[in-house]
Each structure stands twice: as C-alpha cells, then as structure tokens.
Chains A and B, each alone.
Chain A
Amino acid sequence: MALSIRVSGVAKAFGPVQANGDASLEVEAGEIHALVGENGAGKSTLMRMLAGMFAPDAGTIEVAVDGALRDVTGWSTAEAIAAGVGMVHQHFMLVPPLTVAENVVLGRELTKGWALDRKRAVAEVCALSERTGLTVPAERPVSELSVGEAQRVEILKVLYRGAKILILDEPTAVLSPPEVRELWRVLRGLTAGGGTVVLITHKLDEVVEISDTITVMRAGRTVERIRTKDTTPRDIAKAMVGRDVNLALDHLAAPSERGAESVERGADDASALLGASAMESAPRSTLHAPRSGSGPAALVVRDLVVPSARRPNEVDGVSFDVSPGEIFGIAGVEGNGQTELIEAIAGLAQPASGRVALGGQDVGALGVRERADTGLSHVPEDRHRRGLVLDYTVGDNLILGLQHRFTRGASLDAPRIDDNARRQIAAFDIRPADAALPARALSGGNQQKIVVAREMTGRDYRVLLAAQPTRGVDVGAIEFIHAQLRRARDEGKAIVLVSADLAEILALSDRIAVMYRGRFATVLPRGEASAEILGPYMTGAASERVA
C-alpha cells in the first residue's frame, strides 16, 4: 500500500533535552498506526512536528498530499491543516471560555459578510457530531464540559477540518471504556473512508486491539516497526524498555511474608486516632487487602475528597492505611486523581473533606513544612515543576524543603550545604559531580537522583510518597531508585508508590490499589495481583469499589 507519512532521521532538542534523535516513522494510508514508548520517549514531540507545531532540527518529514508523498519538513500548523493533517493533543488544546462550536470553528470560521456565522457553525457542529456519533453540547462553554466531552470536542475539531491523517496523542487516558469503544468505532469509520490514524497510547491492550502496525520509540529514537498481528504485548513492552521485561521483574525480591494478625490491630489503632466516625467508614478494601507491615499504621487516609480545577471530586473518597515497612502501590492510568491524592497528603492541595494522619497525628491543619517535619517525605511526580528549582544549583536543590535545617543564625550554613551536596552526589552517583552546576544542566535521570537523594536520605521520615519516581529516567537510574525504595522499605519506612508503570508497581509493592476516576477500584495484596488482573480495573472494565 501507499505510504501516507514518512519521517526519516528527525532530531529535535529543547534546550539541553534531546527529545528526538534519529526518529523515523512510516505509516501506510488507511491504517491505524500505534506509536508507543515510555514516558519521555519523544512520541508527542515527533507528532507535534508532523502537525506543524514546530520544525525539526534535522531530518525530513513527508506526507501524502493528493496521493503523492511531498516533503513538508518544517511546515506550519496552517499548512498541515490545509493538507489534511490534524492532531488531537495529549493536553487539551481548548479555549475554556469559548463555546464548543467556537472552539471547533476557530481558525476556520464560517462568515456571513464580515461577521461570524454562529448559527451555521452550531448547525455544522451538530451535524458532524451526529454523523460521527461524538455527541457534544455545541453552545456550551468548554469550561463547563466533562473531560470526556472535551476530548470529543478535540476530535471533532480535527474532523471538522476534514483531516485525512488523524494523529491522536493518548486520547484514551481520560476516557471511560464505553467512550473508548465509541472512539474505536469513529476511528475505524475514518480509516474505512480512506483516512489514516496515528495513535499514541500507553495501553498495550488497546494497541493490540485497534492498531494495524506499531512503531516503538525509545529515548527519542525509533527502535522497531512491527505488524500488530505478528506480536504480543510482552514483545512490545520489551521493545519499549529495551530489555526483557520479565527478567527485570523476576529478579526482584518477593515481598516478605508477614503475619496477618498484625493487620487488624493496625487498622484499629488508626481508627481510634481518627475517632469513631472513621471507624465506621473504615474501608472494606483495607480489610480485603490486609496491611502487610507491622505495628500501627504510619499513614492513615480516610474518606479523602480533593477538588481540582476541573471537578469538585478529582479524588472522590479514598481511604487507606500504610504500615511501616510496607510499599503501598497505587496503579492507574494517569489523570485518575493520583496527583491530587498525593498532593493532598503532602499538604499541597486543600481537600474538600476527609482526614490524613501521620504516625498517629492528624495533620489536616498542618502546612507542607510542618507535615514534612512530622515525618513525611515526598518525591513529586513532576520534578521540573515541583521537585526542583531548575535554576538553583544542585547543592541548593539538595536542601529544598530542608532549608530551615541548614541555617546558622539567619543565614544559610554554606559549609554544611556544601558538605551535604558532596555526600549526596557521591552516594547517589549524580553526574556530573558538580554541586555548583544548575540543576537545569543535568539530564533527567540525574535530576531525578537529586530529588530522590534529598527525599530518601536527606531527612528523617516515616512515610515516603513516591510519585512516578522513575518517569522519564533511564534504565540505570531506574534500577538504582528501585533499590533505594526497597532499602527504605526494609528499614521500616511506609511508602506510597504511585506509578503509571504497572511493571514497576508489581515489582515493588506489597499491596496494590488501582485508582480509577478518583476512587480505588480495588486493593489487592501483591500475591494476588498480576498485570492481567489489574488491567481491567485500570480501565474501569472491572470494579469492586465499595463506598
């Protein structure tokens, strides 16, 4: 069949970050092509260049226009749209105060004289919506829509422009299973009509279900192109991470056997602390999946509800306990409330209701620093936004959140800060080993090591919140960080591990919760969990949630 897209040797750097280096891609007309790879592999970057958002530093991009491949390297979004290339972005590209119809026609407005023809815009959007089955309220402002509806608007926007080549960047991350099925139907309809689809997703079952061909990216490069019918999720995963996934999992020590009798006691202690009402609402899931640590719970979370900018209940009533010496893994597709849950525990987000207790002390009224001083440590999911001040030196970043401990009188204690930096850099093998370098100049893996070093050995803590601790980090660093987490667990720390990477969760956790739409869909002991069992809970296909 004829090629619809051909990308060869494309490179793109953002400052020091080499997002793409020698990436290539071949997509045939009329197929659904899946683009997979770990977080930070450069998938979005590559597709954004294809859609004309910015130009590559090197390489060529060709797209079939009127049946023949044409070099379109460095074209603009306007040109891409005109040539029938449309992209649905990973992050919403919608203007919240504008209506659905306005968002759809933006840049391609219908006019009556000099004025917008708003009636016709609404009519056309409604018609398109009917034709594709993507129902949206055409005259409502986008700010009032649910995430699923917003996603549909995004797809409508592209279809409205008559896209022949449709690029979807993780469209299912925020969709419910029926919505996903709906989407597949729309995409199949599109390819049946001669359209081409490139689909970025992290869910390998989706890949297998919907795609015809798969391209795997790793560290900015294309590593493999496979026919879907010739492969299995396991092979894809192997290609993605560059080594045998099972091998990696197998060598992990299984969580130690622990007595079941300690479980109930721990829960009781916590409940006593939080009062009778907490007792009544003690989650069944806690009982269902007994804590595996010993002694009273180090972290108790009860009925936590956390709002976000999008909705009032991003976290919608979550309860759990974590014991000392236990890793409590929270799996789930990103955007199901994990971020808000962790931030609420850390004191960064204000819960609407519910309680958090640390080592037996209710910390609801405490600020971030006070919670940290009570024994909470936190590896945040977004090191660039939260975890590091990128323009501070490595040494200064190694005391972020601890700055009040490194003072002498009013001033910072420079010798101790230097000394701390030297020790941490050596212990965690942070490279380059230069405390005076700005954190911005380090690679992602080394940046993450700064955060991990600071949070795991820089302070006394009882509870560690580790959110996506290895995202975008290379293999060596991943092993190292995993080892640190296990060591901490063995030292009796209580650890909450949030990861979008199921393998990571399975490799490290003693108990595993799956978060879906703000709630725990299930909580299982490690022994009862496997990727096959957890998968359906992650997508909402299975649920045993009890309020």
Chain B
Amino acid sequence: MSAGSRMRAPLQEALLPALMALAIAVLVGDLLILTFGQSPGAVYRLLLEGTWGNAYGFGQVLYKATTLTFTGLAFAAAARAGLFNVGAESQLATGGFAAALVALGLPNGTPGILAVPLCLVAAALAGGVVGAIPGWLRARFGASEVIVTIMMNFVVLAALNYVVASHLHVPETLHTPETTVGAMPRLSAMIPAFAGSAANTVLLVALAAAAALWWLLFRTRGGYELRAVGLQPDAAEYGGVRVGRVWIRAMALSGALAGLGGLNYVLGYKHYYEEGFATGSGFLGIAVALVGRNHPLGVVLAALLFATLSQGGLAVNALVPKQMVEVLQAVVILAMATSVPEVQRLLRASARRRSATGEAA
C-alpha cells in the first residue's frame, strides 16, 4: 500500500459525506425554492452575494462562524472522548452570563488587558462547571450524558432567566446593563471594510481555541489519553488512564469551549448578556462538529459553511421565507449523519474488493 493511497482513504472518508450531504441539501433546497415559484439559480446567487460577495456580509458570516466554532469545538472535544454534549446551548449562555457578570462587577475603567482575561476565565469556568456536571454524573453513576445535558439545558436556562428577570435586567428589556469594561474591539476597528458587521476579535479567540484544541488533542499526553478513551475505553484503562476522570475533564473542557463562545455576543458584540442570545447555537454546533468530523480545522470550515447558510438566509429573504433555511440546516445535518457511516462502509467494501482483485491478479 503506497503512502499516497493511505492518505487518500481518510481524506475521501472525510470529504465525501460532506459533499453528499451538500448535494442532498441543494436538491431539497431546489425543491423548496421551486414550491415558492422562484428560480434556484437566482436564490443561490443572492445567497452568495449577500455573504461572501461583500465585506459586510462576510463580516457577518465571520461573526456567526465564531459562535458556531466554539459550540462545534465543544461538541467535538466531548465526542473525541466518546461523549455527546447536547448541552452547548446552556453552557454558551452560562459562559456569556459569567463574562457579563464579571465585566459589570469590575470597576469602571479597568483596563482591557486585565478585564478581558478575567472575563475569559469566568466564561470558561462557568461553562466548564455546567459541562462537568453531566461528565461527573456519567463517571460516578453511569448516567447518560445525552439525557443529562438535554435536561440541564432546561434547568440552566430557567435559572439564568430567573436571575436576569428578577435581579439584573435593564427595565423594558431582557438584558443586563451594558458594560464598558472588557469590551473586545470589532474587526472593523482594524479593517474598515468590515464596518458595521458584528465580527469582532473574539474570532481570534475562536481560532486560538481551535488551534489549542488541536494541539491538546493531537500533541499532548492529555489528548492522547482523551482520544484513547473515546476510541477504546478498555484499552485506555489498560494504558493506565482513569476513564471516569477523563470523561469529567472532557466534559469540562467541552463546556469551557462552549462557555467561551458566549464572549462573542457579550464582549464582542452587544456588551451585555441578553436572554435567549444562545438560542439554536448549541444544536447547530452538533451539526458543525459532525460536518467537520470532530477535527478542529474541519470545525472551523464547517462553522463557516453553516454561518454562510444562516446569513444567506437573511439575504435571500426577499425571495423565499426564512423557514426555508431552517429546513435546509436540518437537512444538511440529517444527510451528513446518514452518509458518514454509509460512505465509510462503501469505501471499506470497495477497498476490500480492490485488494481482493489485486491479490488475485
């Protein structure tokens, strides 16, 4: 087996399902567009123009991709340890809330060099704690982290709602007061072409987080053990790894990544915590991680894809209703989830056939 073909197989395995899923989504999209009596070509052109076609639209894509990168990385980090974190939404909200709380609590005029790291740590810690609880329940009691994270979404969001609605909100709104402390600059401050878009320097934190997660997963002992636990818990245990502890750590890491995502809205964009800002980002993060094959680089690319879809939905709003984009996002996830194992099977079967005929020859 040549080195080339060895590289090709995993690459095929990574790309083919994504392409298949996209093809299916485009097909379904065409059907939906046609039912509204529009031309698919025109809609797609508008979609691209409104996203990658101008600096503002692209800035918006970057902004949305930032949050999705965090929730995607969060899901991927847990998935690498063999766990499903379906609770990114509440972890994201908690992280954002903690950052806002710290920013509001710091005295006015606290320099960013001090405030930003504090908020960062607060967001990661808060998200991490919310994530670690299901990890601990799994390690200690064998409780399914899927169910616990889903249930915790309801519990945590209701608790945050209670705190904000009864103690912290600005009258007539659903958000906390605005903070001047800890604000992270917009990208437009450096690249004027982005003017107006919400893209901000938290994007750099997201990229750093992706790089850090990559390093952690693939270059450190902790990552070696985490992935071993995800692939073969029995082998990891044999290798001296305490599986339960890795579960807790992985879930805490996952929650921390999601929690950091809260910065994008709270510190980078609005400078306050607002009820419901996390809605939908958690579930989309699952899609992002899935399409990105739980690889940090893949997650970043997939986040861009989903951000494009969701910003593009706004751009094509004149032609088709927003409901179409919701349907399309679900179709992409569904097609992806279905085609990953299928493509894997097909590729392995064909590899076997090839090697069988190769031997015969």
Contact = CB atoms under 8 A, between A and B. Distances in A.
Given A348-B237, A367-B242, A389 B221 contact: no
Interface stretch (B88-96, B224-232, B287-295, B297-305): B224-232
Nearest to A400: B239
B240 A367 contact: yes
Interface in A383-399: 385-392, 396
Interface in A128-143: none
A480 to B, nearest CB: 22
A388 B352 contact: no
Interface in B207-253: 215, 219-222, 224-225, 227-228, 231-232, 234-242
B225 A403 contact: yes
* Candidate in A369, A396, A412 with the most chain B CB atoms within 10 angstroms: A412
A389 B220 contact: no
Contacts of B234: 385-386
A410 interface: yes
B348 interface: yes
A401 B240 contact: yes
B235 A368 contact: no
Contacts of B6: 436-437
A177 B239 CA distance: 38
A387 B237 CA distance: 10
A372 B232 contact: no
Contacts of A410: 220-222
Given A387-B238, A392-B228, A400-B228, A15 B221 contact: no
Contacts of B224: 396, 403, 412
A404 to B, nearest CB: 6
A517 to B, nearest CB: 25
A317 interface: no
A218 interface: no
A15 B235 contact: no
* Candidate in B219, B225, B236, B239 with the most chain A CB atoms within 10 angstroms: B239
A378 B231 CA distance: 21
B166 to A, nearest CB: 43
Interface residues of B, number: 25
B235 A387 contact: yes
Nearest to A406: B221
A487 B222 CA distance: 34
B240 A368 contact: yes
A411 interface: yes
B221 A400 contact: no
A232 interface: no
B219 A389 contact: no
B221 A386 contact: no
Contacts of B231: 389-392
Nearest to A386: B238
A404 B215 CA distance: 17
Contacts of A403: 221, 224-225, 239-240
B297 to A, nearest CB: 18
A13 B219 contact: no
Contacts of B227: 389, 392
Nearest to B215: A411
Nearest to A399: B224
Contacts of A400: 228, 235, 238-239
18 contacts: A369-B241, A378-B238, A380-B238, A385-B232, A386-B235, A388-B235, A389-B231, A389-B235, A389-B236, A392-B227, A396-B224, A403-B240, A410-B220, A411-B221, A412-B219, A412-B220, A412-B224, A441-B1
Given A400-B239, A404-B240, 15 more contacts: A346-B238, A368-B238, A368-B240, A378-B238, A385-B235, A387-B235, A389-B228, A389-B231, A392-B231, A396-B224, A400-B228, A401-B238, A412-B224, A437-B6, A441-B1
For the complex of A and B, 3 pairs with smallest distance between CB atoms: A369-B240, A401-B239, A400-B239
Interface of A: 13, 15, 346, 348, 367-369, 372, 378, 380, 385-392, 396, 400-401, 403-404, 406-407, 410-412, 414, 432, 436-437, 441
